[in-house]
Amino acid sequence: MDRIRNFSIIAHIDHGKSTLADRLIQATDVVNERDFKDQILDTMDIERERGITIKSQTIRLPYKAKDGKEYVLNLIDTPGHADFTYEVSRALASCEGVLLVIDASQGVEAQTLANLYLAMEHDLEIIPVINKIDLPSADIDRVMGQIDEDLGLDPDKTVCVSAKEGTGVPELLEAIVTHLPPPKGDPDAPLKALIFDSHYDPFRGTIVHFRVFHGTLNKGDTIKFMYNSSSYKVEETGFFQIQRIPKKSLSAGEVGYIIAGIKTVSDTRCGDTITLKSAPCDKPMPGFKEAKPVVFSSIYPVASDDYPDLTIALEKLKLNDASLTYEKDSSAALGFGFRCGFLGLLHLEVVQERLEREFDLSLLLTAPSVQYRINMSDGDTMIVDNPALYPDPTLIDSSEEPYIKAAIIVPDRYMGAVMKLCLDRRGNNLGYQYLTANRMEMTFELPLAEVIYDFYDKLKSVTQGYGSFDYEITGYKPSSLVKVDILINGDRVDALSMLVHKDNAVFRARHACDKLQDEIPRQMFKIAIQGAIGGTIIARKTISAYRKDVTAKCYGGDISRKRKLLEKQKKGKKRMKMIGNVEIPQSAFLAVLKTDDE
């Protein structure tokens, strides 16, 4: 066991985690040059297209140190985006140490701090790594100062590398075997292993990723999941080296996978403990805190026949993405679907894209919302995340909405722009502090509903990409909420309803009406699009009718001949309007979600 090192790479977005993982993989000759490709651990199409990591990936690297000893390094590459912090915390539970990567030109940013605290919570050994030292704007001395002052880590342990060019990678591998502790555990104790991830393989069933803490697991053993006491016989166990490499047994300290013919997706839970059925361990491991969804949206199949396929797809995706929650939902306009909870707007986009690509589904999403707390006049309290469940306003005593504490790290020249952005979003400035001579951390209290919409994109725009943002949910505060309904020709479209703050109601209703006016095709009669709160209309747009020139064949003669034809047309249109039903195209539902500058 003293020759094993389990470690993770953590950092802010775009500081070079996946590229560094590539260099470590190349340095240990796990993949031959012909099969190698950049960001080799980002296996999903959507990860490669967007250039972000979404899923943590594990790989086992054999390494021969300078002292001639052979080591096994289990590397777990993690995401950097705030929406996927849950992935990072799961990866850290199976490690003894981390490499904290910091960009030599950008320095310490919001997620760097957030991930450092996560690593400290798990009591891990931390090696600071300064990456991108080949950039012309790299300032290693300044970053060394930040590591000492902002992070409180030892700058002497810091390793400087360029993941792009491979500089400093041999020194980093030596630092990993020297500074990171080996795993602790007893290979002869009863088996105790922690599930930190799993994915579904159509040919082999569920493949569970796990870390053994005590005991040994052999092929052919009968295992038991402690969460629901279901037991299975192990068909195959092994470790990841890009492909799955089978191995007869895995013992304490090792990270690997297990295939046991698990057909029901719901049996494997992240954070569950695996033990042997014949000799179980005394108690399960603490597992992970449940991820709490903060953004809610309903997902509907475009064709109602696809509903069973959507059900199966969500089950399989839930296995791979433990932070996704969903329950059944239905709408008069869109039929049956699911109300889903996400960790943020990027998470929502990624889930939508994965469902459409991996399971070949066409989907519609409703406007994202958060969980509001409604206090009724009779003393009851309701949690509402779906506008359809909003109670009668006359029965409501007060309403509360969730607030977050946001830490925004920016160069001080953008202070005014960030201040304006946050105050426009009903934010409250809690203070600021200078981290270095020209970089500052600003702290705001903001309503979560204002942040999920497009706050992160706007922040990146006003700070020219230099702003970094991290948040934690602080609790509920009183708020005046209203439900905005969208009416089309007087009919309420429930899928377009939204819960908003009273001050934003008119703006959001006008925005929705404008978008729908562009998307809904013209008819032979006028179409009124209205935004309403209860019975009060607060916004309106009209789609004018096609006008057929009925007087074309009537040339010359008395004006009354023309008027007679126009009157006849008017009667026909009036009758048509009574039975006129407006079809809303799918693009209209999506257009309402988009902001103006898109």
Residues in Cβ contact with 245 at an 8 Å cutoff, skipping those fewer than 6 apart: 60, 238, 239
- Token pair listed for 217: 């697991």
Alpha carbon distance 254, 217 (integer Å): 10
Query: Residue 438 maps to which CATH number?
Result: 3.30.70.240
**Does some domain include residue 284?**
no
Residue of 221, 335, 332 lying closest to 276 (CA atoms) = 221
Tell me what the mean pLDDT of segment 83-110 comes to: 79
Instruction: Please tell me whether residues 38 and 159 are part of one structural domain.
Output: yes
Instruction: Please tell me whether residues 569 and 463 are part of one structural domain.
Output: no
Report pLDDT for 8: 86
> Residue 202 to residues 223, 260, 359: CA-CA distances in angstroms?
22, 14, 12
Q: How confident is the model at residue 83 (pLDDT cuts 50, 70, 90)?
A: low
The response to whether 38 counts as a known ligand-binding position is no
Instruction: Please tell me whether residues 21 and 168 are part of one structural domain.
Output: yes
- The model's pLDDT over 422-478, given as tens digits with 9 standing for 90+, comes to 888 888 888 888 877 777 888 989 888 888 777 777 887 888 767 777 777 788 888
- Domain final residue, candidates 179, 214, 240: 179
Instruction: Please tell me whether residues 255 and 234 are part of one structural domain.
Output: yes
Residue ranges making up the domain that contains 230:
192-276
Instruction: Please tell me whether residues 475 and 491 are part of one structural domain.
Output: no
45 pLDDT above the threshold of 70: no
**Does some domain include residue 289?**
no
- The model's pLDDT over 249-275, given as tens digits with 9 standing for 90+, comes to 888 888 888 888 877 666 777 777 888
- Domain final residue, candidates 479, 497, 516: 479
Residue of 405, 467, 409 lying closest to 440 (CA atoms) = 409
Report pLDDT for 532: 92
How many domains are there within the chain? 5
**Does some domain include residue 462?**
yes
Query: Residue 350 maps to which CATH number?
Result: 3.30.70.870
The response to whether 17 counts as a known ligand-binding position is yes
**Does some domain include residue 187?**
no
CB neighbourhood size of 151 (10 A)? 17
Instruction: Please tell me whether residues 353 and 380 are part of one structural domain.
Output: no
The response to whether 16 counts as a known ligand-binding position is yes
Residue of 43, 115, 87, 91 lying closest to 321 (CA atoms) = 87
Alpha carbon distance 493, 331 (integer Å): 9
Q: Residue 165, SS3?
A: coil
**Does some domain include residue 598?**
no
Query: Residue 576 maps to which CATH number?
Result: 3.30.70.2570
Report pLDDT for 598: 41
**Does some domain include residue 184?**
no
Question: Position 410: which residue type?
Answer: V
| Contact call for residues 86 and 343 (beta carbons, < 8 A) | yes
> Residue 412 to residues 147, 347, 415, 419, 438: CA-CA distances in angstroms?
20, 30, 5, 11, 5
- Token pair listed for 184: 């602790």
The response to whether 242 counts as a known ligand-binding position is no
| Contact call for residues 191 and 245 (beta carbons, < 8 A) | no
Alpha helices (H) along 425-481? 448-462
The response to whether 266 counts as a known ligand-binding position is no
Query: Residue 202 maps to which CATH number?
Result: 2.40.30.10
Instruction: Please tell me whether residues 491 and 465 are part of one structural domain.
Output: no
**Does some domain include residue 186?**
no
The response to whether 83 counts as a known ligand-binding position is no
**Does some domain include residue 501?**
yes
Instruction: Please tell me whether residues 402 and 351 are part of one structural domain.
Output: no
Report pLDDT for 590: 67
The response to whether 52 counts as a known ligand-binding position is no
Alpha carbon distance 287, 272 (integer Å): 6
The response to whether 132 counts as a known ligand-binding position is yes
Instruction: Please tell me whether residues 46 and 152 are part of one structural domain.
Output: yes
Alpha helices (H) along 28-103? 45-50, 85-92
Instruction: Please tell me whether residues 75 and 173 are part of one structural domain.
Output: yes
Q: Can you give the length of the chain in residues?
A: 598
| Contact call for residues 329 and 339 (beta carbons, < 8 A) | yes
Instruction: Please tell me whether residues 489 and 560 are part of one structural domain.
Output: yes
- Find the farthest-apart pair of alpha carbons in the chain and give their distance in angstroms, rounded: 109
46 pLDDT above the threshold of 60: yes
Instruction: Please tell me whether residues 132 and 46 are part of one structural domain.
Output: yes
- Domain final residue, candidates 428, 444, 479: 479
